[in-house]
Amino acid sequence: MKHIIIGTAGHIDHGKTTLIRALTGKDTDRLKEEKDRGISIELGFTYFDLPSGRRAGIIDVPGHERFIKNMLAGIGGIDLVMLVIAADEGVMPQTKEHLNILSLLKIKNGIIVLTKKDMVDEEWLEIVIEQVREDVAGTFLENAAVIPVSSVTGEGLDQLAAQIDLLTENIKAKDIDKPFRLPVDRVFSIAGFGTIITGTLISGTIKEGDKVMIYPRKIEARVRTIQVHDTSVTKAEAGQRVAMNLAGVKLGEVVRGDVISAINTMEPTFMFDARLELLKDAERSISNRDRLRIYHGSAEVLGRVVLLDREELEPGESAFVQIRLEEEIACLKDDRFVIRFYSPMITIGGGIILEPNPPKRKRFKEDVIEELTIKEKGDIEDLINQQVLRMSEYYPDMASIAKAAGNITLEHCDSILKKLDSENVIKAFKTNEGTFYVHTQFLEDLEGKAKILLDDFHKKHPLRNGMSKEELKTKIMPNAKQKISDEIFDHLCSKNIIRINGQVVSLWDFKIKFTDDQEKIKKLIIDLFEKNRYNPPRYAELTEMLKLQEKSLSPVFNALVSSGDLVKVDQDTAFSKAAIETATSLVLNYIKENKSIQLGEFRDLLGTSRKYAMAILDYFDQIKITKRVEDKRILYNSKI
């Protein structure tokens, strides 16, 4: 079902609230001060049953220039605007500012309502209509119907209602499949119920009992009850005015300007990238780093504008910018915003958000402008391609990519990711914790880094098998969790780029090459350890036993340990590879026959001392061949 929100706009005292009262029978001024002063200060809300039977929500905005921020807090979610102009005064300053704001927010549908028809004659009315037509020329209201009405006599109200009904037939329904999002425009409490918030649901569906998150502070709450048009409902859909009773949140924890949405579907930000345009009749230009008031959704925040491709933005011009905020907001790609000068507070422009969570941009960078051009163009495939490239170093999952691309549905994102994967533009990696995606360009850069680092390592340490996996991971994948880095390493192995031996990584074609003298030393060491298989020499004894200098012995000994020809069972003790293999067979066979083995029994099997037998058993415990139970060893895994 299609839901419609109608908004008013126009100068103070032009009869917006009176018009709504005449159409609906309801008064949208609820504050005592509003009734005493006869002007709207805050947003007013009600509903209107159209001739067709459709029910439309109505937002009544204040017209006074001092309350423009209140007007902006409610106008963003409307489908159709009634620009209200008093027939006895015509277009006034706030009429023009409201029209500028509506144009900047890209409102597409509207009606011009000339109120107070009963206060002017027909000749004057014709003059006013002609003047209004001139003033709205070139705007979205250029061809809008102009309907004179009298809220006192009721004249013209039926025609107005019929015109509204006609326009609403062609308004496109809002997307109820996206994650729900509701900018908060009013907060209050009711004794016995707790915190109540109101706002226009601009996307998605919300149901009683749903868990929600209040952004930008990321406070979790639960929807206790929902009302739409003063009627309790179990769910609300995009395009409806909604009041929600939130459980688990105190009154001061949610304020106007906050956004209610699904948990972890948005990321608060202190800056966003955008296309900013200045009004043609803006009273001044914008210079780089000017301080502005930014209006997004129902929020008003201060920030500075960074012009990315120029020093100054003139009236009527547009440019790519980065807005850096003084407070966090929650926004999404393609959201609209309005800017006003910090002082004097006049509306001068607005724009569209292209990247809600960008890095800090440098100015006059071609790659930045190219990136924002793609985002502005709106090709969703190009956009996801770009987002995966930007996010690859953090190994994003599908939900993160969908959010970065403007909160598209997971189904849509999945289909595009599969297409890009099939075209070898990106690569999907599956782990038992889910699937992550990286760009092939990122993988190529990673391959290049690994090659350079390992080649440099091999040159510096020609007799070592390679660099430790952990060291290489830290240098080329600092943000990767262990399971992610293992997948990337396996990918590099599959492409014959690296080879992994235990916890050591080398280039695929790397082999230790000994000089002739080193080959002789290698043979001397191996022969000595084989001759003294279970009574091996300590490293400190080798220089004297082999009549070698430390600088000649050390590289070869370490290479043999690295290659596995020698096995260090502790800091001071090493055995030949053959000795450890034989000892492993002996202990496995003995335990299988006798269910366990004691230290003395193992010592006798090897024909060695208690010290060396203990060192080997401790090593077997460490590598999970055996497990110590009191004074015995049993198999660590009974299936061995």
Q: Is pLDDT of 160 > 90? A: yes
How many domains are contained in the chain?
A: 5
Domain ends where: 240, 261, 282?
261
Residue 18 belongs to a domain with what CATH number? 3.40.50.300
pLDDT, tens digit (0-9, with 9 covering 90-100), for 561-592: 888 889 999 988 999 999 999 999 999 999 99
What values do phi and psi take at 278, rounded to 5? -95, 140
More confident residue, 361 or 70: 361
pLDDT at position 72, please? 67
The answer to whether 196 and 187 are in contact (CB under 8 A) is yes
Same domain, 277 and 360: yes
User: How would you classify residue 25: left for phi > 0, otherwise alpha for psi between -120 and 50, otherwise beta?
Assistant: left
Residue 257 belongs to a domain with what CATH number? 2.40.30.10
Query: What is the average per-residue pLDDT within 613-639?
Result: 91
pLDDT, tens digit (0-9, with 9 covering 90-100), for 468-501: 999 999 999 999 999 999 999 999 999 999 999 8
Q: Single out the residue of 518, 482, 527, 530 nearest to residue 503, CA to CA.
A: 482
Within a domain: 192: yes
Same domain, 201 and 336: no
Q: Is pLDDT of 154 > 90? A: yes
Same domain, 229 and 342: no
Maximum CA extent, the chain? 123
Query: What is the average per-residue pLDDT within 402-431?
Result: 90
pLDDT at position 624, please? 92
Residue 604 belongs to a domain with what CATH number? 1.10.10.10
Query: What is the average per-residue pLDDT within 248-272?
Result: 92
Same domain, 505 and 523: no
| Average pLDDT score over the chain | 89
CB environment 496-527: b (16+ within 10 A), e (fewer): ebbbbeeebbbbeebebebeeebeebbebbbe
Q: For the chain, give me the number of helices (H) and strands (E)?
A: 19, 33
Domain ends where: 211, 228, 261?
261
Same domain, 506 and 523: no
pLDDT band at 306 (very low <50, low <70, confident <90, very high): very high
Within a domain: 175: no
Same domain, 96 and 224: no
pLDDT band at 37 (very low <50, low <70, confident <90, very high): very low
Measure CA of the first residue to CA of the last residue in the chain; give whole Å: 65
pLDDT at position 41, please? 44
Q: Is pLDDT of 35 > 80? A: no
Range of the domain at 576: 516-635
The answer to whether 16 and 61 are in contact (CB under 8 A) is yes
Q: Is pLDDT of 234 > 90? A: yes
- Give the range among 406-410, 485-489, 544-548, 633-637 with minimum mean pLDDT: 406-410
Same domain, 158 and 241: no
Within a domain: 176: no
- Give the range among 171-175, 303-307, 338-342 with minimum mean pLDDT: 171-175
- Angstrom distance (rounded) from CA 621 to CA 597: 13
Query: What is the average per-residue pLDDT within 111-139?
Result: 94
More confident residue, 374 or 491: 491
Q: Is pLDDT of 246 > 90? A: yes
Structure tokens, 3: 């839901």
Within a domain: 460: yes
- Give the range among 370-379, 448-457, 532-541, 572-581 with minimum mean pLDDT: 370-379
Within a domain: 174: no
- Give the range among 27-36, 224-233, 315-324, 532-541 with minimum mean pLDDT: 27-36
Q: Is pLDDT of 342 > 90? A: no
pLDDT at position 407, please? 64
Within a domain: 374: no
Q: Is pLDDT of 159 > 90? A: yes
Same domain, 493 and 610: no
pLDDT band at 76 (very low <50, low <70, confident <90, very high): low
Same domain, 449 and 350: no
pLDDT, tens digit (0-9, with 9 covering 90-100), for 265-278: 889 999 999 999 99
pLDDT, tens digit (0-9, with 9 covering 90-100), for 281-294: 898 899 999 999 99
Within a domain: 105: yes
Percent with pLDDT over 70 in the chain? 94
Q: Is pLDDT of 71 > 80? A: no
Q: Single out the residue of 573, 618, 623 nearest to residue 633, CA to CA.
A: 618
pLDDT band at 155 (very low <50, low <70, confident <90, very high): very high
Q: Is pLDDT of 22 > 60? A: yes
pLDDT at position 34, please? 40
pLDDT at position 462, please? 86
Domain ends where: 169, 195, 211?
169
Same domain, 454 and 466: yes
Within a domain: 405: yes
Same domain, 256 and 279: no
Q: Which residue has the tokens 């959010």?
A: 403
CB within 8 Å of 113: residues ≥ 6 apart = 19, 82, 83, 84, 85, 147, 149, 160
Same domain, 396 and 506: yes
